[in-house]
Amino acid sequence: MTYAVIDSPLGPLTLVGTDAGELAGLYMDQQLYRPEDDRFGDRDDSTLPAVAEQLDEYFHHGRTKFDVPMHLVGTPFQRQIWVALQDIPYGETTTYGGLATALGLKPQSARAVGLANGKNPISIIIPCHRLVGSTGKLTGYGGGLPRKQALLDHERTCRHAQPARWA
C-alpha cells in the first residue's frame, strides 16, 4: 500500500492505493473513522494519478462520474451500501430510508444504512454525502457537515452550469 496527499477545495485529501493500483481509501483531514497514516504504507504523492486527475476534474471541470478501480474492504452489507451510493445521481440526494427501500430492505433499516454509510472508506467518489435525513436535512458526515454541504452545493451548482463556490 502507498498513499498520496493532494490539495482540494475541501482541504488535503489522502488517497490510499493498493499494490495493484486500486483506490482503497480517500480520506479528508480530521475525518471520522480515518485510520492512522502509518496504516497507509509509504507516502508517494505520485500514487494514483488517475484518481487525482478525476478529483481535479470533479472539483473544477464538471466531472459527474468516476471510473477508477476500487478495492472495497468491508462487510457484504457495507459493500452493498457503498455500491448503491454510486447509483444516486450527481447533484441529487436521497434519504437513508429511501436507499434502504431501493435495496429492498425494510424502511427500519435506515439506521443500518447510515452506519454502513459512515464507514465508507472512499468519500466523494463513493458519494456518501448524497444521503440526508428523513426530513431532507443534513445529518452526520465523516468529513463534517460544512464539507457535506459544500459538496452538495458544488454538485447542484455545476449541474446548472454555474461556477462553484467553496466554503
Judge whether 96 and 117 are in contact, CB under 8 Å: yes
* Active-site entry in 16, 116, 125, 128: 128
Q: Catalytic site residue 158?
A: no
Q: Where are the alpha helices (DSSP H) in 4-133?
A: 49-60, 76-85, 96-102, 110-118
Count Cα neighbours of 33 within 13 Å in the Cβ-side half-sphere.
Answer: 16
Query: Which three cell numbers, joined as nine digits, stand for 167?
Result: 466554503
Active site residues: 128
